[in-house]
Structure 1
Amino acid sequence: MVAATGVTALVVPLSVALSAGSASAASCTTSTGPYQKQVEKFLGLRVDGRQSAADCTAIRAFQTKHLIKPNIGYAGPVTWGVMSLMLKQKPVLAAKNPNAAGKCPTNKGRIACVDLTLQISWIQDGRTLKYGPVPVRTGRNGAETRTGAKKIYLRKLNHWSTIYKVWMPYTQFFDGGIAFHQVDKSMYAPPGSGGCVNMRKADAQKYWSMLKKGDDVYVYGRKPGT
């Protein structure tokens, strides 16, 4: 249940896949997706609900950045799902008040909180926010990050995953093989990790410097799509 690899296939109609060319990464679909208007609005494009060359170029750029496959510019459910999550995260990240609902315990001193529903994490001390919130990437369907009260029990500056055969910098284990650690990919890359809480480098470094063995971790909510 450590590290995160792989992405889910975007389910598209056969006609769309064929119009993109035979598995060519450089191809761009002319088909209008079911979330065309929503995706156009998110990307600041002309909202007319019809696929254009400009639409496809912009959608493909977004898909490529966030490792959404196939990256053919189709406004499908996976692409819109990522955008929807970003829209839900935005006000919380901006407000700097991730524990407004009081779901993460405030009576344990320093604690790292993980909200699976919004895919964010932060560090607080009592009621005082110390770092974050920041976007994270948690366990995919079938390998969900387990919820509940945990404690950091092992820290390794650069752990080698024998399961996924990758290095995991700034690893802090808190639940079996589940840990906070750095990954060099988008926090929005579907379908998610193998259970760990993936972090951007700067965030993983900050967690490493602020947390120690024995510190509390609290995980709650449910990742979209699981």
Structure 2
Amino acid sequence: MKARLILLVAALVAMFILPTTAVAAPRCDDKTAAVQERLSELHFPGGVVDGCSGPSTKAALQAFQKANGLSADGVLGPKTRAALDAPATLKPVSRKPGLHVEVDRSRQLLLVVEDGTVERIYSVSTGKQGYETPAGTFKVGRKELRSWSVPYMVWLPYASYFNGGVAFHAGTTDVERASHGCVRVPAAFARELYDLLEPGTTVIVTR
């Protein structure tokens, strides 16, 4: 009995103290740093240029791939490398003075435009079939750092509402057109976009 008790205690200690899975360290090298710098030059924010691959770099690559008609897997393959040398140029729908944002539903991208110039481009995921993000021109209104969605019983981090219950908020963009109408932005950039979208900021959602 005593031996069994000792074995049970040892098993519990191992369960709670010893790691169950190994966490892979991010890969860091000069090639990754060069890609991060290139993405930043092209207005695809990827966070700090540190040469280490991670969620921020993946999200920036996904946005770049969408802008260039490539599979948005966030992987730096041969086609993506070639496109970095000859990238597509995205033009805003509106060139009005000041700052506004444009949601390109066809490409699943968000463009931050200032005085007619595209300053930043983010990957997004808009509404799925039957819950399409409405097209049109809107204004940012209510903002909440952590907003509770009553219909779907889920928290929406960094929510900026621009059309009733439709908001920009942090979420995965790995799957396109997956929301219930909101515009999901990569978690890595949700806070900086939240800070950028002041109440009254114009939001243009294109078809």
Asked if the contact 2:108/2:176 (under 8 Å) is kept, the reply is no
Match of 2:61 in 1: none
CA distance in 1, matches of 2:177, 2:141: 27
Match of 1:214 in 2: 200
How many residue pairs get matched? 131
**Taking every aligned residue pair, what percent have the same amino acid on both sides?**
30
CA 1:171–1:87: 2 relative to 1, 3 Å: same
The structure whose Rg is larger is: 2
- Compute the TM-score of the two structures, normalised by the length of structure 1: 0.52
What is the RMSD of the two structures over their aligned residues, measured on CA atoms?
2.5
Match of 2:188 in 1: 202
Asked if the contact 2:147/2:159 (under 8 Å) is kept, the reply is yes
Match of 1:130 in 2: 119
CA distance in 1, matches of 2:126, 2:198: 21
Match of 2:158 in 1: 170
Asked if the contact 2:126/2:177 (under 8 Å) is kept, the reply is no
Secondary structure of the structure 2 residue equivalent to 1:87: coil
Deviations 1:187-221 (A, max 9, x none): 13265100000011122112112120001000002
Match of 1:155 in 2: 143
Match of 2:90 in 1: 98
CA distance in 2, matches of 1:192, 1:168: 15
For residues 1-226 of structure 1, what are the structure 2 equivalents within 5 Å? 87=70, 95=87, 97-99=89-91, 102=92, 104-131=93-120, 133-183=121-171, 185=172, 187-189=173-175, 192-221=178-207
Q: Which has the higher helix share?
A: 2
CA 1:88–1:147: 2 relative to 1, 3 Å: farther
Looking at both structures, which has the greater relative contact order when contacts are Cα pairs under 8 Å and sequence separation is at least 6? 1
Runs of 4+ in 1 over 6 A off after TM superposition: none
Structure 2: segments with no counterpart, 5+ residues: 1-65, 73-79
- Compute the TM-score of the two structures, normalised by the length of structure 2: 0.57
Deviations 1:168-187 (A, max 9, x none): 0110000111110001x3x1
Structure 1: segments with no counterpart, 5+ residues: 1-82, 222-226
